Structure formats: C-alpha cells, structure tokens
Structure 1
Amino acid sequence: MSSHTTQPGTNGIADALNSAAEAAIDGQTDNGETLSETVLTLGQTLLNEAQTFVEGLLRPWVGYQVLIVVAVFVIAHCLRQWLGPRIRAWMGTREGWPKWRMRVLVVVHQRLRAIFFVLLLWVVVLIMREMTWPSRSYILGLVATLAIAWLAVVFATRLIRSVFLRRVVRLGAWAYVTLYVLGIVDQTAEILDAAALSIGDMRLSLLLVVQGVVVIGVLLALARFVTTTTSSRIQSNEDISPSMRVLIVKVVQIVFYAIAFYVGVRSLGIDLTGLAVLSGAIGVGLGFGLQKVVSNLVSGVIILLDKSIKPGDVISLGETFGWIQTLGARYASVVTRDGKEYLIPNEDLITSQVVNWSHSDQFVRLDIHFGTSYGCDPHQVRKLAIEAAKGVERVLSSRPPVCHIVGFGDSSVDYILRFWITDPTGGLTNIRGNVFLALWDTFKEHNISIPFPQREVRMLGDDDA
C-alpha cells in the first residue's frame, strides 16, 4: 500500500491561482483585453480544478472521509440536542456568578454543536493517523483545522459589540483563515492586487480596499472596546462630578476613534496631506450650513465645563419642567413627570433663562396662597396653617413652614404659606395639592371659613319694568 496519494483540489487550486496571478500582473502593462483573457483563463482553470476535486471525492478513501465528516456532524447535533437543555438548566442555578462568566457560558452554550463537532472530529483524526496512512485522513484534518479556526474567530469576534461590525470582521477573518489553511493566501492577494484603478498618483486596488475594511474595522472595534471599558470606570468614579464624567467620556471616545481611523488609513499607505485643502474647503462650507449644529456642540461643551447643568438636575425652561436624564453632544434630554422626554438644544440652555431647582443643593421652597374670612382670628389661622403643613410627609421639619399675612382683600384676609422640600424630582404639583388638602381638613375641623365670591341675580318681569 503506497503512502503517497495526491490530494484532490487544494494544491491544484493554489497552482492555478499562482499562474493566474502572475499572468494578471504581467497583463497590467498590456491592454484591457489581455487582462480580460487572463480572468477568463483563471475562471476556466478554477472550473477544471473544481471538476477534478469533485472527481477526487469519488475515490474510496476520499468518499469515506466525507461520510465520516457527515457522521461526526450528526453525532455532534444529537449531543447538542441532548446536553443543551441540561446545560441550560444548570446555568439557571448559577446565582451570584459574575456577569462576564455568565456571558461566556451563554456564548459557549450557543456554539455547543460546533464545539462537539471540533472535538469529535479531532479525536477521529488522531485515531486514523495512528491506525492508517496520513493520506487517508487528509480531508478530515483539513476540515478539522478549518472548523477549529472558524470557531476561534467566532469567540474572538464576540468582543465586538456592534452587530454590523462584528459580522464584517467575522466574514473577513473566516475568508482569511480559509485561504490560509488552503495555502493560497499569497496567490489570492496577488490577484486582488492586480484588479486596481489608478487615480493620478494613487493606485486603488481591490486588495487595498479589503485590507482597509479589515484593518479599520478591527481598529474601530478595539477603540470601541477601550472606550466602553474606560467609560464604565469613569462613570463609577464618585469623586468626579456627573458633568465632568460626561465630558471625559466624550473626549475619550473622540480621541480613540480618531486615532483608530488615522492609524488605519496610514497603515494602508494612504497619504492624507493631499486631503488638507479639500477638507478645509468642506469645513468652510459645513461651517456656514451647520451653524446651529456647531453652536449646539460648543454650548454642550460649555455646559459640561461650567457645571451649570448636570444629569439629575431638576430644571424649568418655559413650559417644560423635569429632570435632566442625559447630556448629549447636541441636545439635553429632559424627562417630565408625565413621562414625556423633551430634547432641548444645548444652545437654548445657554441663551435662555433656565431655573435649576437643584443647582447648588436640593432644597426647594414652595409658596401657596390662600385667604380666610374677616371673622376668623388671624393668629389662629397662621398657627393652624403651619401645623397642617408640618403634617404633610415631604415637608421638611428642619426648615419649618412659615405663614404670613400679605394683605387685606375685598372679601378675605390673604395669607402666604411657605415650606421646604428636598426632592423636587418627586414633583411640585402633588406636594402643593397635599398641603392644600391638609389646610382644608384643618380649617374645616376648627370652623375656619374660606370665603368665595357670592352674587345675587334678580329676575325682572315686564310688569315690574
């Protein structure tokens, strides 16, 4: 039994790509027809190699290896169906585990079929290499190598949070590891580099485009991971004020993304100095067209620097009353008591009069006005009003309420009742209503009358007229 067997497909494809790449590179100095003929020759060669590969599958040991791969996949699927629910139930009992560990378990659980397939296939490959010729397990080893490489790419790209970016990087990595395992990376790169377009002194090839997408995608993913980690640490630092946290996070994001893009473009050999004049002209045009946007951006930076408004503050702006939820680069998100979220431009917060109920502290004083009849003792009214306000839950006792006479009206003695609260986020209308209700109950209990206008209507008939 001979130990040397020609493997179907792989070496032939590599040789064909190598020859076609050399022909394509040589054809760059000729006309477009020569390059087209080269591409057609490449397609015909690949078609012939595919036919040879299919014919090779009909050989006994090659067919057996394909059947073994299918059988291993079926066994891995059955194991996934049997062990998957049990592992899922076991994961549900892991209370108190860190989130990162549970996320790893979830990712592993989602890829159980692939993990079982790789493990079983490598066991089969090692057994066959010990029991028979290496050529009889060549296809199995190739498939096992590709499977473990693809699985490693899946786990590595899980670090990328963006779904679109993750898919792009994953597909690119899968394509590269496949070409690497098949041994045709250099030949494929030469063919992609041959498909080029010259614009002045700049040569843009398909290889450069692919490399740019992969490199910039990986760098942006790394920048996103670093900024996310840094942002979480900054947000958890209680020594930094909320406004400064937002400012630091935004500066970190801009710096890291800019560095990632610049390094990615420079690594591809693209000279950015030629874009300086064009970017300057575009900047002038955008400056005139996006004045409001730029004004909002600058206003947002000013707000974060002077700390006049920060997340969690309770503000009033015109008819809007609510608390700051987030401070964005262009607008601030204000949530009202009725659940509405207003996106107020940063410029309005700078140029308009804003009432910040919690700028320096959380103490807020509220005033309510009421009146009683002239027949009621004003000393008793003031005392009862203060006691009624003290009985309301949110009214501070450390800063006791006060009540004063503010005037003698046409039909009542007018009073003002002032009290303090420390939770304006809990609402102002409801606390005023509770105090009014307490005044009503107290006055009714002590026979204090609250006057109201009374009118007499006389009906005049024709005879009386």
Structure 2
Amino acid sequence: MDRSTDPFADFLISLEGIWINAMAFLSGVIQPGWRQNQVLIVLGLALVAWMLHRVSDKAIRNWVRSRQGWAKWQLRVVVQVRRRMGLIWFALMAYIVYEVMQSVTWPSRSYLVGLAATLAIVWVGIAFAAQLVRNRPLRRIVIWSLWIYATLYFLNISDDVASFLDGLAIEIGEFRLSVLTLITASVVIGALFTVARLVSQATASTIRKNEEISPSMQVLAVKGVQLALYGFAFFMGVKAVGIDLTGLAVLSGAIGVGLGFGLQKVVSNLVSGVIILIDKSIKPGDVISLGETFGWIQTLGARYASVVTRDGKEYLIPNEDLITGQVVNWSHSNDFVRLDIYFGTAYSDDPHKVRKLAIEAASGVDRVLSFKAPVCHIVGFGDSSVDYILRFWIRDPTGGLTNIRGNVYLALWDAFKENDISIPFPQREVLMLQDSKLAVSRGARKSTED
C-alpha cells in the first residue's frame, strides 16, 4: 500500500465510500420497484424458513430418539444440522426462487434474491467447516468472523471496509500497526494453528502406535512436535501479514526478563518435566509413592504429573517435586515388588511349624508369586511373643498393596486357627502388697483426724 498519502485522508475517503453505498442501497429499497420487491421476497422466505425450522426441529428430535447405537460423530452431525435447519431451508427456497425468477424475468430483477441465496449457502458451509475448531468460544468467533467477511465480499464492499480498517492505525516512527493488520494476523495465525493442531494430532497418533518407543519418549516426542508446529505457525503467520518483529526485539527482551523472574517455578517445572521424560525415571503407568501419596502415573504434562490413587483421587504433583523429592517408583526397572508383614506367636508354639504354616498360607494367596517363594524368619524374642517376618513377592503393584497384605494376614489367621497356633497379646498383672495396703489406710486415717 502506498504510504506517501495522508493516512487520515484515506480513512475519510473509505468511510465516505461506505456511507454512499449504504445510502444508495437504502434509497433503492425505500422506493417502490423491483429492488423493494426482492427485499420483501427475501423477508418472506426468511419467515417461511423460520416456521419450517420449528416444524422440522421436532421431527428430527423424534427421529433421533428412535435411533440407537449411533456413534458420537453421527450425533454431532445431526445436532449441527438441526441447529442450522432454518438457514438450510432459507438457502434452498431462495435458490429455487432465484432460478425461477431468472427464467421468467430479467436477471437484474432477481439479483438480491440470488445474493441472499449465495450468502445463505456460504454461511451454512462456514458453520459446518468451523467444527474443526474444538474450542467452543473460539469456534463462535471464527464463525461470526467468516460470516462477516463473506457478507462484505459478496456485497462488493470488502475493499472499502479494508481501507477503513487500515486507516485505524497506530504509528510510532517506522512502526505501524492497524486494525486490519491485527485482524489479518489473527485469521492467518488461527488458520495455521488449526492446521498445526490437525497435523500434531495425526503425528501424535502415529507416535503412540509405535510400540518400539517407550511411553516417556512418546510423550516427549509429542510435546516436541506440538511445540515446533505451533511455533512455526505463529512466526509464519506474523511474517505472512508483514509484521516486522525487529522493532519489538528490545520490548520483548524486557518483557522476557520480567517474565523470567515472575515465572521461575513455572520454568522450573517445565525443565523438570523435560528431564523426567529424557532420563525415563518416571513414565505413564508407573506406580509411585511420594510422601503420603501412593498411586500410578496417569499422564505427564509440561507442568505437572497426574497421579491417581486407589480411592480415585487425582493428585497433580509439580514436576519439580518429582525431581527434588524422594520418590519411590515401584515399577521403575521391573514390576516385581517385595512386601513384608510382621506377626508374632506364643512361646509355646513350635517355631519350625509356624514358619512352615506361614509360607504355605502366603503361597496359597492370589497374586503372590510362586517362583519367588515366600520366606519366613524369626526376627526376635519379644516380651510376650516370638516375632516373625514374612516376605513375599508380587508383580502387579497397580492392583494395590494394602489389599494383598490383608489377604495374606487373613490366610495366616485361618492357618493358625486350624493348627492351634496362638497369637498372643501383651498382658500385665498388678499385685497389691499387704504392707502397702496398711500404709495407705494409716495415711488416710491421719488425714481424717487432722
């Protein structure tokens, strides 16, 4: 665009052009004639389309309720069609009326009807194409923006509006930023982001299907691809609209320093997440213990790891805590886990028999490994019992630890009951000496006399 002319004068000229076109159209509509007739036809078709929409909406609802076993994408298509039925009815009727008028009268007498039919068809296409945008608020913005642009384009006033928006600009030295530039940049970047999202989803699906890549490297590869694609889309969108980022280098540097101090924890979590993915110390599916939290890793994010416990609670643990804290990974190198339980029996029971019964009881419990046979040892002679430790192995810690311990304890209880093995508990005897009783009674008598 030629910048030698006065930008404010260009702004006034474009605004004047829009005003003249609007007044010319309104004057043609107010005066009786074919232009007014076409506007009335369009309004009548809109009213009929609205009534047909009310009737067809109920019919579609009843039809969908009679269907069963539909996939989610089919239901989404039906929902979108039901919402746009009024516009679809209008587009069909306007196109039919336009074709009829083209054959029975002069083409100029059906121009507005054809324009309305074209716009309705384009609006329907935009509404369905915008479903590629998953975010609902963003999807509505995209739909309305494309509707407005399509309307201006088919009304042949897009150039005047573009000149008007380009005149609304901020100029600082050589740097110039207009409303048109911002809108164009938003559209181009949004389109590139959509393409980047579709490509990243396809790439992520391919990476996750590759069983030769470990889960942690899959997450790292997916995050790397997403970062590269979105970064490339942003810079290409900025370059495509002609925005020079050189002038913003100093400002972006100052902002970066401020963000660096304010986002130390966030950056630390991001770096910790990358380290976790690279060294494979923790990966999705691992069973970990961190403090009082015991569960398995569901997802590894850029800032936190999602840990789901046996009671259904989901903890979002910052990646920095997984790096700096003491984490027990029950399934880091393999899935084998050894569990220990302690118990005691009476001194009158044969310890050889107790050990044999304990090993047999633990071996008969589900999930206890047989090729890593349980062992039982005496660990001490207590005040009222002989103390033992029973050790056994499992290979599915994701199935829980408390439940398997409880099952082994229950098996021990049953085995000891059947073989008359007693489990003692501490007992205390209190003896009152005779001299102590006399001293207590004398002291009480003397206090009474005083």
TM-score, normalization by structure 1: 0.84
The answer to whether the Cα contact below 8 Å between 2:359 and 2:376 also exists between their aligned partners in 1 is yes
Alpha-carbon distance in 1 for matches of 2:56, 2:11: 55
Q: Deviations over 1:188-247 (max 9, x none)?
A: 212222222211101222221221222222222222222233223323333322111111
The answer to whether the Cα contact below 8 Å between 2:287 and 2:295 also exists between their aligned partners in 1 is yes
Matched, 1:283 2:256: yes
Q: Give unpaired runs (5+ residues) of structure 1.
A: 1-21
Q: Tell me, what secondary structure is at the counterpart of 1:270?
A: coil
Q: Deviations over 1:8-46 (max 9, x none)?
A: xxxxxxxxxxxxxx9x9965377xxx977x688668646
Alpha-carbon distance in 2 for matches of 1:384, 1:407: 18
- Please show how residues 241-320 of structure 1 align to structure 2 within 5 Å: 241-320=214-293
Taking every aligned residue pair, what percent have the same amino acid on both sides?
62
Alpha-carbon distance in 1 for matches of 2:262, 2:39: 63
Q: Deviations over 1:382-412 (max 9, x none)?
A: 2221222233333233433222222222322
Q: Which residue of 1 aligns with 2:405?
A: 432
Q: Which residue of 2 aligns with 1:422?
A: 395
Against the structure 1 CA distance between its residues 29 and 414, is the aligned structure 2 distance closer, same or farther, given a 3 Å change threshold?
A: closer
Greater shift in the superposed pair: 449-458 or 341-350: 341-350
Q: Tell me, what secondary structure is at the counterpart of 1:203?
A: strand
Q: Which residue of 2 aligns with 1:55?
A: 30
The RMSD of aligned alpha carbons is 2.9
Q: Tell me, what secondary structure is at the counterpart of 2:132?
A: coil
Q: Which residue of 1 aligns with 2:7?
A: 28
Against the structure 1 CA distance between its residues 237 and 93, is the aligned structure 2 distance closer, same or farther, given a 3 Å change threshold?
A: farther
Using the TM superposition, give the Cα deviation of residue 105 of structure 1 relative to its aligned residue in structure 2, in angstroms: 4.1
In structure 1, what residue type is equivalent to 2:390? L
Q: Which residue of 2 aligns with 1:446?
A: 419
Q: Which residue of 1 aligns with 2:300?
A: 327
In structure 2, what residue type is equivalent to 1:212? A
Using the TM superposition, give the Cα deviation of residue 455 of structure 1 relative to its aligned residue in structure 2, in angstroms: 0.8
Q: Which residue of 2 aligns with 1:239?
A: 212
Matched, 1:191 2:164: yes
Q: Which residue of 2 aligns with 1:362?
A: 335
Matched, 1:179 2:152: yes
Against the structure 1 CA distance between its residues 274 and 112, is the aligned structure 2 distance closer, same or farther, given a 3 Å change threshold?
A: same
In structure 1, what residue type is equivalent to 2:339? L
Q: Which residue of 1 aligns with 2:358?
A: 385
In structure 2, what residue type is equivalent to 1:264? G
Against the structure 1 CA distance between its residues 136 and 207, is the aligned structure 2 distance closer, same or farther, given a 3 Å change threshold?
A: same
Using the TM superposition, give the Cα deviation of residue 315 of structure 1 relative to its aligned residue in structure 2, in angstroms: 0.5
Matched, 1:110 2:89: no
The answer to whether the Cα contact below 8 Å between 1:371 and 1:415 also exists between their aligned partners in 2 is yes
Q: Which residue of 2 aligns with 1:341?
A: 314
Using the TM superposition, give the Cα deviation of residue 81 of structure 1 relative to its aligned residue in structure 2, in angstroms: 4.0
Against the structure 1 CA distance between its residues 85 and 238, is the aligned structure 2 distance closer, same or farther, given a 3 Å change threshold?
A: farther
Out of 214, 224, 227, which is 2:197 matched to?
A: 224
Out of 20, 28, 39, which is 1:66 matched to?
A: 39
Alpha-carbon distance in 2 for matches of 1:291, 1:113: 53
Against the structure 1 CA distance between its residues 28 and 273, is the aligned structure 2 distance closer, same or farther, given a 3 Å change threshold?
A: closer
Against the structure 1 CA distance between its residues 35 and 187, is the aligned structure 2 distance closer, same or farther, given a 3 Å change threshold?
A: closer
Q: Which residue of 1 aligns with 2:446?
A: none
Out of 116, 123, 126, which is 1:150 matched to?
A: 123
The answer to whether the Cα contact below 8 Å between 1:320 and 1:336 also exists between their aligned partners in 2 is yes
Alpha-carbon distance in 2 for matches of 1:438, 1:139: 87
The answer to whether the Cα contact below 8 Å between 2:14 and 2:163 also exists between their aligned partners in 1 is no
Alpha-carbon distance in 2 for matches of 1:237, 1:99: 27
Alpha-carbon distance in 1 for matches of 2:366, 2:374: 13
Alpha-carbon distance in 2 for matches of 1:345, 1:53: 66
Out of 364, 376, 385, which is 1:403 matched to?
A: 376
Alpha-carbon distance in 2 for matches of 1:122, 1:251: 49
Using the TM superposition, give the Cα deviation of residue 439 of structure 1 relative to its aligned residue in structure 2, in angstroms: 1.2
Q: Deviations over 1:82-132 (max 9, x none)?
A: 444554555567767765455444433432222222112211111121122
Alpha-carbon distance in 2 for matches of 1:174, 1:328: 37
Against the structure 1 CA distance between its residues 60 and 273, is the aligned structure 2 distance closer, same or farther, given a 3 Å change threshold?
A: closer
Out of 140, 151, 156, which is 1:167 matched to?
A: 140
Q: Give unpaired runs (5+ residues) of structure 2.
A: 441-450
Against the structure 1 CA distance between its residues 459 and 386, is the aligned structure 2 distance closer, same or farther, given a 3 Å change threshold?
A: same
Q: Tell me, what secondary structure is at the counterpart of 1:342?
A: strand
Against the structure 1 CA distance between its residues 54 and 25, is the aligned structure 2 distance closer, same or farther, given a 3 Å change threshold?
A: farther
In structure 2, what residue type is equivalent to 1:357? W
Against the structure 1 CA distance between its residues 314 and 214, is the aligned structure 2 distance closer, same or farther, given a 3 Å change threshold?
A: same
Q: Tell me, what secondary structure is at the counterpart of 2:423?
A: coil
